[in-house]
Amino acid sequence: MRVEHNPTYILHIRPFKDSSAIIDCFSQDFGLISLVAKGAKRPRSHWRGFLQPFVALKMSWLGRSELKTLTDIEAETIYPKLVGEKILIGLYLNELLIRLLHRCDAHPALFDFYDKTIGALALADSITQQMLLRQFELTLLSELGYGLDLRHIMPDLLYAYDSSTGIYENAQPNGISGATIIALRENQVMTENQLREAKKLMRIVLNYYLGNKPLQSRKLFQVAYE
């Protein structure tokens, strides 16, 4: 199968043999795919300037197996949308996609939302960054068929999450306020406490689907902010 110039983002790059690399990508029409970039590690490789995350690319590839061969890359710019500390946030989004998406399962709406999220993160302040993360997590879960039912939430009550029942009322002191869940559902500006509660809720939900293997990007966050 030959694919020409499909909108794609690179999520992760790892060495392959002596001079090549395997790139895990999120493509608009084919979802999560892995490509071999032959000769990518050679000093004069024509791939070198393009092989980085957070750059909107159009990629071409060839092959019928799960591991396909990169044949061409086009880009309007080789400069990534994220720089500095925001790269850590982008790496977290990329790792979620790699861990949770099924290979070759197209999610064009999620691809568009990822593109918009990366662009928005580039300009966002710290509070907006957190809100963008929570909205991306919600959208990803919904795309995978694991969406949270956030209807019928009362702002003055406390809630918790269980994988078998979803969001439920829970009067324990460590419960998450209904006001926070409503703000999350409506994408409203949150207080610092609500941001912490929303992060707590989404981490509990995502941990269930991620299993026991921790996210490497979370470890990077911990090291960066120690």
Averages of pLDDT over runs of 10 residues in the chain (226 residues) are 95 93 97 95 86 95 94 90 92 96 96 97 94 97 95 96 93 92 96 96 95 79 47
- Record the tokens describing residue 154, joined without a space: 């009362």
Domain ranges for the chain, please list them.
2-75, 86-224
Check residue 220 and give its pLDDT.
65
Cα separation values, 171 from 153, 157, 158, 176, 203, Å: 14, 7, 5, 9, 20
In one-letter notation, the amino acid at residue 181 is I
Check residue 224 and give its pLDDT.
43
CB-based contact 121:130 (threshold 8 Å): no
Q: Is the dihedral of CA 49, 55, 60, 63 positive or negative?
A: positive
Give CATH for domain 2-75. Answer: 2.40.50.140
Check residue 9 and give its pLDDT.
97
pTM: 0.93
Check residue 225 and give its pLDDT.
40
CATH number 1.20.1440.120 given to 86-224? yes
